[in-house]
Amino acid sequence: MNHASYLTAIEQELQRFLDVLAELIDLEFTVVNDKLVRIAGTGSYKEQIGSIAPEGSLFQNVLETGIPRFILDIQNEEENCRNCVFNRHCRELSTMGYPIILDNRPIGVIGIIAFSPQQKEKVVENLSTLWDLLKQTHQFIENKIALFETADSPKALPPAEPVQNAIIFQDIIGYDTSLKDIVKRAERVTSSPSAVLIQGEAGTGKEQLAKALHYGGNRASASFIPISCSAVPAEVLERELFGYGDDEPGWLEKAANGTVFFDEIGDLPLSLQAKLQRALQVGSIYRVNGSRSLSINVRIIAATSKNLEQMIQEGMFREDFYYQINVLPFTLPPLKERKEDILKLFTFFLKKHGERLNKPMMKVEPIVEQWLLHHQWPGNIRQLENVAEYLVNFAQDDVITSGDLPDSFFQKEKVLHPDKVRSLDELVAEYEKTILQQLLESAHSTSEKEKVANDLNISLSTLYRKLEKYQIS
Ligand SMILES: Nc1ncnc2c1ncn2[C@@H]1O[C@H](COP(=O)(O)OP(=O)(O)OP(=O)(O)O)[C@@H](O)[C@H]1O
């Protein structure tokens, strides 16, 4: 594999990293490869992943010259945008492009984009900090590629041999009682051949638990083959899973005496659900275009972040297959419900990335701890790890202060603060009160109040009842 292909191989991790950065600083990011194909993007560029950056664009120039460049005011730019096919039709207001250089060769470009005037202002005011950010993002990519080069194989094309990065139950950090119970129950069934279904939101540790089940039992010396059901097209998946012709064994054969892990099983096409269901029931398969029946001996562990029962109701998931895979069910709680674990996991990730980046162990200000405890963590443990990695990269000092966390994060926090989450009725009441206060500000006489009631399409007596309820005089 060349370096440009490695960039493609890490695109999922890169996308997640950029999502966190974009959320933190409220600017958009994009990455193109050596063919100018967009392989990652945030905001509106997320929908354009797979499209090609325009001919004559700044990104093309950065890719060809290997020199970082920026344009701060695209709408009034004559010189630098002249050759771009999007000249005068560009939605970007400012753009920064930083070359991804490996082995002295540009293999792609990372960009920061401003689409709104506020974002543009931010770019103009923070140009040098943003250059540092781009440099660090480059470092992140370099590190990931280095790790990838030494790793066994990319996730979508799993190895035939047992993977080296075995996870054991001791690697699962969890002081929260619900997680401890899950680990305890799982430890009892490591060597069972029965199918396991792990449910939980993205990033809650489903794959980690699956690996611990595999490596903790009598299948540990055989393969653990992870399959991402959403990442591989159906035809490819069928061929890879069941094999092809006389001499192309599939994963179900390659995992002999081991485990096949189906990640996001809800995305497995219905036709393959039926085929797999039959294969598991009879314990044998036919390869695609194959004539012989071949017996299989694999344990199935499946994971899902979707509600499979609801999918069954909607005809999107086979009921018989559901019962076949849901013999030993486990449900991992979201991180926000495991308050006890948040700080311990955070410290663990600070240490992990600190060691990797050769930085001393960082301390955390109490206020930052509060922020961590109250965050909603939609991306769960993976997101927590990304934030820790971000802070190890960017924090100025050995102590992480709230200043290391950008304003945009706190603004979102206010809205999402769990202690402040209120019912819909309360929110509607608050809205109603504000509207009435505004309208009644200049309506003092009965006739003025009648007009307000009319405008709101309610009776005068209803209006008075509401004024009393909200104590508006
Ligand atoms: N309890 C834990 N202790 C330490 N690390 C954890 C724990 N749970 C998850 N992680 C780490 O968090 C990251 C996400 O975990 P994992 O990939 O297992 O989640 P997932 O639920 O399978 O996610 P997805 O559904 O998005 O594939 C991994 O890097 C994993 O090692």
pLDDT (tens digit per residue) in 401-441: 877 865 545 544 444 443 444 566 776 677 677 778 777 87
Q: What is the pLDDT of residue 164?
A: 46
Q: Are 34 and 55 contained in the same domain?
A: yes
CA separation for the pair 364, 359 (Å, rounded): 15
Q: Does the residue 317 lie in any domain?
A: yes
Q: What is the pLDDT of residue 125?
A: 86
Give this complex's ipTM: 0.97
Burial of 117 (0-12, 13-18, 19+ CB in 10 A): exposed
Q: Are 23 and 100 contained in the same domain?
A: yes
Q: Are 36 and 93 contained in the same domain?
A: yes
Q: Are 299 and 368 contained in the same domain?
A: no
Q: Are 314 and 198 contained in the same domain?
A: yes
Ligand 1 nearest-atom number relative to CA 228:
27
Kindly report, residue by residue over 109-121, the tens digit of the pLDDT: 999 999 999 999 9
- The yes-or-no verdict on residue 154 having pLDDT over 50 is no
Q: How confident is the model at residue 126 (pLDDT cuts 50, 70, 90)?
A: confident
Total length of the chain = 473
Q: What is the pLDDT of residue 319?
A: 96
Q: Does the residue 156 lie in any domain?
A: no
Domain boundary among 416, 435, 461: 416
Q: Does the residue 299 lie in any domain?
A: yes
Q: Is 389 in the pocket of ligand 1 (CB under 6 A)?
A: no
Residue 389 belongs to a domain with what CATH number? 1.10.8.60
Q: What is the pLDDT of residue 190?
A: 95
- The yes-or-no verdict on residue 156 having pLDDT over 70 is no
Q: Is 111 in the pocket of ligand 1 (CB under 6 A)?
A: no
pTM: 0.58
Range among 56-65, 154-163, 286-295 rated most confident = 286-295
Residue 51 belongs to a domain with what CATH number? 3.30.450.40
More confident residue, 4 or 438: 438
Q: Is 205 in the pocket of ligand 1 (CB under 6 A)?
A: yes
DSSP assignment of 76-100 equals G-STTTTT-TTTTT---SEEEEEEE
Ligand 1 nearest-atom number relative to CA 173:
3
Residue nearest to atom 15 of ligand 1 (CA): 205
Q: Tell me if residue 363 falls in helix, strand or coil.
A: strand
Percent of the chain, pLDDT > 70? 88
d(CA 380, ligand 1 centre) in Å: 8
Q: What is the pLDDT of residue 21?
A: 84
HSE toward the beta carbon, residue 448, CA cutoff 13 A: 8
Range among 129-133, 309-313, 359-363, 416-420 rated most confident = 309-313
Rg (alpha carbons) of the chain, rounded to whole number = 27
DSSP assignment of 284-311 equals EEE-BT--SEEE---EEEEEESS-HHHH
HSE toward the beta carbon, residue 31, CA cutoff 13 A: 27
How many domains would you assign to the chain?
4
CA separation for the pair 180, 119 (Å, rounded): 44
Q: Closest Cα partner for 229 from 212, 206, 245?
A: 206
Helix-strand-coil split of the chain, %, nearest 5: 50, 15, 35
Alpha carbon distance, N-terminus to C-terminus of the chain: 74
More confident residue, 162 or 93: 93
Q: Nearest 5°: CA angle at 385, between 380 and 386? A: 100
CA separation for the pair 300, 326 (Å, rounded): 10
Mean predicted lDDT score pLDDT of the chain: 84
Domain boundary among 297, 331, 365: 331
If you count DSSP H runs as helices and E runs as strands, how many of each does the chain have, helices first? Answer: 19, 14
Contacts of 77 (CB under 8 A, 6+ apart): 71
d(CA 300, ligand 1 centre) in Å: 19
Residue nearest to atom 8 of ligand 1 (CA): 205
d(CA 172, ligand 1 centre) in Å: 9
Q: Closest Cα partner for 335 from 305, 376, 304, 369?
A: 376
d(CA 315, ligand 1 centre) in Å: 30
Q: Is 19 in the pocket of ligand 1 (CB under 6 A)?
A: no
Q: Are 206 and 140 contained in the same domain?
A: no
Q: Are 255 and 390 contained in the same domain?
A: no
Q: Are 215 and 315 contained in the same domain?
A: yes
Q: Is 379 in the pocket of ligand 1 (CB under 6 A)?
A: no
Q: Are 319 and 194 contained in the same domain?
A: yes
- The yes-or-no verdict on residue 40 having pLDDT over 90 is yes
Q: Is 266 in the pocket of ligand 1 (CB under 6 A)?
A: no
Q: Does the residue 155 lie in any domain?
A: no
d(CA 310, ligand 1 centre) in Å: 25
Q: How confident is the model at residue 2 (pLDDT cuts 50, 70, 90)?
A: low
Residue nearest to atom 25 of ligand 1 (CA): 202
Q: Does the residue 56 lie in any domain?
A: yes
Q: Are 137 and 285 contained in the same domain?
A: no
d(CA 223, ligand 1 centre) in Å: 20
Q: Are 305 and 346 contained in the same domain?
A: no
Residue of 207, 263, 265, 345 to test ligand 1 pocket, by largest number of atoms within 8 Å of CB:
207
Q: Does the residue 162 lie in any domain?
A: no
Q: Are 314 and 345 contained in the same domain?
A: no
Q: Give the single-character DSSP code of 260.
A: E
Residue of 382, 383, 384, 387 to test ligand 1 pocket, by largest number of atoms within 8 Å of CB:
382
d(CA 186, ligand 1 centre) in Å: 16
Domain boundary among 150, 181, 198: 150
Q: Is residue 334 within 8 Å of residue 377, measured between CB atoms? A: yes
Q: Is residue 112 within 8 Å of residue 123, measured between CB atoms? A: yes
Kindly report, residue by residue over 356-394, the tens digit of the pLDDT: 888 889 998 887 887 788 788 888 998 888 888 888 888
Residue 440's domain spans which residues? 424-469
Q: What is the pLDDT of residue 408?
A: 44
Q: Tell me if residue 263 falls in helix, strand or coil.
A: strand
Q: Does the residue 344 lie in any domain?
A: yes
Q: Does the residue 67 lie in any domain?
A: yes
Q: What is the pLDDT of residue 95?
A: 92
Q: Measured over all CA atoms, what is the biggest interatomic distance in the chain, rounded to whole angstroms?
A: 91
Average the pLDDT over each of 136-145, 351-360, 386-395, 454-463 and give the range with the smallest value.
136-145
